[in-house]
Structure 1
Amino acid sequence: MGDTTPDQLIEGLARVCSRAGLPPPSDLMRLTGGATMESWRFSAGEDQFVLRRAPSLAFMEDRPYGHDTEAAVIEAARAAGVTAPEVVAVLGPEDGIGSGFVMRALPGTPNPKEILEFDGADALLKQAARDLARIHSLGPGDVPEAVPVMDYREAIADLRQQFEEAGGDRPIIALGLKWMEDNCPDPLEPVLVHGDYRMGNLLAEGSRLTGVLDWELAHFGDRHEDLAFGCMAVWRFHRYDRPALGLGSLEDYFRAYEAEAGVKVDRERFRYWLIHRTVWWALGCLKMAKIWRSGEDRMLERVVISRRTSEQELDLLMLLEEDLPEKLLYQSPIDELVRETELGEAHVTEMATAVSEWLGTVKEKMVGHDRFQLAVARNALGMIAREVGPTYGDYFQCREILAGELTLLSGFPADDDDDYLHELRLEICDRVRVDSPKYPALRAALKKWTGEG
């Protein structure tokens, strides 16, 4: 739960509420979701509010700006007509509960599974396009100077560095990075980009959009980045068949956006950012395991998300296929590849350890035989961790061999001996079968590549 107990949060929130002219807080409850920030719902008199905070002050050290800037961005978006929450207070050092801010709670649900089953998806898609266009209407003079401007080439270089720090042994991600370097578009006049505009960060009630949440990644850049991110396969959840936010067609989405924004959507730029952000999220998933290993945040969700890297690799390979050679071939081998078990996604040992640690946090809530069974479960997890060991076995060995035989970041080879692309397809499908067997894109990939229904 970060570095603050619920009692400390209530005490700190009492100071915040007093400063904001609100009644004392009560009924504090941690909300689910949020891979980086914490969200807590509470009452103040007759009204409901949400506290958004970092798990620790150290967590904010490497971020481009603080919660005061994020709160100012949200307020600027509200002024532009975006369905954003009202910020009522920003936490200060005197509150003693870290970095964050308090928002007035909005109606609706953020649950994608519920939203994507609502009637009126077409209406919701138009409203989402409308709000995105209004976000993009904001310029540098509308928000604090701390909001950065993205340099496309620097963003690619940063992703390449993350790739190397994670072991550099993911051939599909290497292909994505090489493609991005070869196809990076020229900069456009920057607009305010939300940076995380997708299902999961949108509130809805029936066919009505009621809120746009999670502004911590806001920056200035290419509007197509926002348009593409929410259309990634992973954010369409079980509605893989509806490519625009899981709500409808790209044609309808673009048409609604263009009507509000007064600009034409560039399909080629859209595709570039679809690939860019897929690589970005693949490396973001990998980084979750690194955060867990460092002890910065031992939340169970970290190790599980790290195993979703394979989903993004599957999506990425499908996106890249039309630009790859008919046969992707072996290149001259590098001298040696050393596979460090402290890199990459969480292995089975770490997942067992993470579950065991979480069980330890609920130990005091157990009574009688359940308490005994919890101890048995933790012992069983320890046995699994010791027996399996710190590798994926055949999968890691296969990936080491393939990465050692290819230097994909330097280009494509000219030899005609082997079809490496076919191996990549089969390998990533097998990996997703282990990590996320119900991932909707897996069925589409199997049908396309193997004919399997």
Structure 2
Amino acid sequence: MGENQTTGNLAEGLNTALARVGMAEAQEIERLTGGATMESWRFTSGGEPHVLRRAPSLEFMNDRPFGHDVEAAVIRAAHAAGVRAPEVILELDPRDGIGSGFVMRALPGTPDPRAILAMETPEALLGDLAVDLAKIHALDEVGLPDAIPTLDYAEGVAVLRAQFEEAGGDRPIIALGLKWLMDNLPAPISPVLNHGDYRLGNILAEDGRLTGVLDWELAHFGDPHEDLAFGCMAVWRFARYDRPALGLGSLEDYFAAYEAAGGVKVDRGRFRFWTIYRTVWWALGCLRMAKFWRDGSDRMLERVVISRRTSEQELDLLMLLEEDAPEEERALISSLKTNRYSASGEATFGEVAIAVSEWLTTIKDKMEGHDRFQLAVARNALGIIGRESGQRLSTISKGMTDEILSGQIDPINEPGLLHTMHNMAIDKVSADSPKYPALAVARKKWTGEK
């Protein structure tokens, strides 16, 4: 399944599912771009637009907290409570032969973060998001499936620690984040339903207003500050690093609108904890994308490219955690001297990658839909090869990560070690994601480079 699924095979199974609820056959089936985990297919039935959301493979669902039946039930409850969630029409049946998923009525608007950020009146959209999040947090547990998990904070950190070890346990910045989480667990509060992925990329907007809240696969009960913090992470602000609230405005305005809509009074300390927690969580989530590709559960090219976004989260983690460092350590200015290989004679790996990338540009206009998106992903992958082959990235031994986790060393207070991590993070993100907005901020902050 996954990107090897043909539209013809998909149509046969989809029509079987649609017939079960008396709907017309699917027409104009089109794979939508994007989606870090699930697939989305847009189609019309009886002239009305719908979207099929499904897993790339049945194996992919093995590690999920719950199935698509539970996700669909959560969306139905949210829709009934006035949240701008889509209307679920049907869930797939194993006999349909096209895996696990469900069909929704399509909503207006675009999910493209850059298009959304370019819209007028971002403050109005920020207010809409605050209102809908307050409604989600107010959903009654009685009307929701029993299978929705409740996040125990300590258990959540322990799971992240286990994922870190499974991925090799050799990245000191992530180890630093894990150690901070273990040392700063907040006291539990009354859990509410969390959307779990409330951010740009998972919403629809049109004319500067919210039209849809999508992708509920990570819903769980927990601290409402987790939902508030996740969408405000640097990675989800895209080009608007300067707007800390979802790339749309100020945290003060966001929190005020959320509280006015019935949300809890925001605690800045808890907000910071969950910002750091979710940054570590997404760093490890990126690493796991490579695992999905290696074990064959999803061989999409996008998986291996997303795995290289781990370094973005490491950069963000350092900027969050160094707030606790002594002033003299934060004031150190890094001197970045990247050791580059000199090339002569035959083409290097990097030059070959760049040449293929340039050729792919020549066929871009011949591609449409998801194929065009995958071409862009392929060029990104080749760019990573080209950039990394031209430099020796600084490394720190796994022994040091073990010492960080055990508390034997504290990089925040160890003279010079934070400085070393600055260099390492900038080198790595420069190879993996040179256009990541936070990189320019970090360079200016840590090196004085403008």
Which letter maps to 2:99?
G
Corresponding residue to 1:429 among 426, 431, 435:
426
Q: Which residue in 2 is equivalent to 1:9?
A: 10
Of residues 425, 437, 444, the one that matches 1:447 is 444
- Equivalent residue letter for 2:86: P
Task: Output the CA distance in 1 between the equivalents of 2:272 and 2:390.
Answer: 33
Per-residue deviation at 1:21? Answer: 2.0
Q: Is the 8 A contact 1:327 1:420 kept in 2?
A: no
Stretches of structure 2 lacking an aligned partner (at least 5 in a row): 330-348, 368-374
Name the CA shift for 1:429/1:273 in 2 (closer, same or farther; >3 Å): same
Deviation at 1:268, TM superposition (A): 0.5
Question: Are 1:394 and 2:392 matched, yes or no?
Answer: yes
For structure 1, the 5+ residue unaligned runs are: 329-347, 367-373
Q: Deviations over 1:36-72 (max 9, x none)?
A: 1110000111100000011111111222211111000
1:409 to 389, 405, 408: 405
| SS of residue paired to 1:150 | coil
1:197 is matched with 198
Q: How far apart are the structure 1 equivalents of 2:137 and 2:80?
A: 13
Residue deviations 1:194-248, cap 9 Å, x none? Answer: 0000000010001210000000000000100000000000000000000000000
State whether residues 186 and 270 of structure 2, in contact with CA within 8 Å, keep that contact through their aligned partners in structure 1: yes
CA distance in 2, matches of 1:252, 1:405: 39
**Pair 1:414–1:279, CA change in 2 (3 A):** closer
* Alignment-mate amino acid for residue 168 of structure 2: G
How does the TM-score come out when normalised to structure 1? 0.84
Tell me by how many angstroms 1:443 deviates: 1.1
Secondary structure at the counterpart of residue 102 of structure 1: strand
Q: Distance in 2 between matches of 1:451 and 1:88?
A: 55
Q: Identity of aligned pairs, percent?
A: 66
Aligned to 1:47: 48
2:165 counterpart residue number: 164
Partner Cα separation in structure 2 for residue 218 and residue 296 of structure 1: 23
Paired residue secondary structure (2:89): strand
Whether 1:208 and 2:209 are equivalent positions in the alignment is yes
Match of 1:369 in 2: none
With over 3 angstroms needed to count, the CA separation of the structure-2 counterparts of 1:63 and 1:414, relative to structure 1, is closer
Quote how far apart the aligned CAs of 1:139 are: 3.2
* Residue 314 (structure 1) aligned with residue 315 (structure 2): yes
Q: Which residue of 1 aligns with 2:343?
A: none
Which residue number in structure 2 is paired with residue 370 of structure 1? none
In the TM superposition, 1:78-227 aligns within 5 A as 78-227=79-228
Pairing 1:251-266 to 2, within 5 Å after superposition: 251-266=252-267
- Contact 2:170-2:401 within 8 A present in 1 as well: no
Alignment coverage as a number of residue pairs? 407
2:371 aligns with none
Question: Counterpart of 2:395 in 1: which secondary structure?
Answer: helix
Question: SS of the residue aligned with 1:42?
Answer: strand
Residue 261 of structure 1 aligns to a residue in which SS? coil
Distance in 1 (alpha carbons) for counterparts of 2:143 and 2:390: 49
Q: For residue 125 of structure 1, what is the amino acid of its counterpart?
A: L
Name the CA shift for 1:418/1:254 in 2 (closer, same or farther; >3 Å): closer
Alignment of 1:331-342 (within 5 A): none
- 2: distance between equivalents of 1:255 and 1:152? 26
Change in 2 beyond 3 A, CA 1:23/1:307: same
> Relative contact order: is structure 1 or structure 2 higher (C-alpha 8 Å, sep ≥ 6)?
2
Q: 1:393 to 1:240 in 2, by over 3 A?
A: closer
**Structure 2 residue 64 is the aligned partner of structure 1 residue 68:** no
Output the aligned Cα RMSD. Answer: 2.8
Distance in 2 (CA, whole Å) between partners of 1:265 and 1:401 is 39
Q: How far does residue 122 in structure 1 lie from its aligned partner after superposition?
A: 0.5
- The alpha carbon displacement at 1:262 in A equals 4.5
Moved more, 425-434 or 175-184: 425-434
On the 8 A contact 1:170/1:403 being kept in 2, the answer is no
Q: How does 1:15-34 map to 2 (within 5 A)?
A: 15-34=16-35
Partner of 1:288: 289
- Displacement of 1:393 in angstroms is 7.6
**Superposed displacement of residue 325, structure 1:** 4.8
Change (3 A) 1:417 1:257: closer
Look up the equivalent residue of 2:135 and give its one-letter code: R
CA contact (8 A) 1:85 1:106 kept: yes
Give distance in 2, aligned partners of 1:429 and 1:180: 23
> How far apart, in 1, do the equivalents of 2:218 and 2:157 lie?
16
- Supply the distance in 1 between the matched residues of 2:401 and 2:93 (Cα, whole angstroms): 53
Distance 1:134 1:172 in 2: 36
CA distance in 2, matches of 1:57, 1:296: 8
State the distance in 1 between where 2:263 and 2:69 align: 31
> Aligned residue for 2:339?
none
| Worse-superposed segment, 194-203 or 159-168 | 159-168
SS of match in other structure, 1:407: helix
Deviations 1:309-337 (A, max 9, x none): 11100000000011235578xxxxxxxxx
* In 2: Cα distance, 1:324 partner to 1:294 partner: 40
Report the Cα offset of residue 24 of structure 1.
Answer: 1.1
Q: In the superposition, relative to structure 1, how do residues 33 and 414 fare at CA in structure 2: closer, same or farther (>3 Å)? A: closer
Aligned partner of 2:57 in structure 1 is: 56
Distance 1:183 1:246 in 2: 27
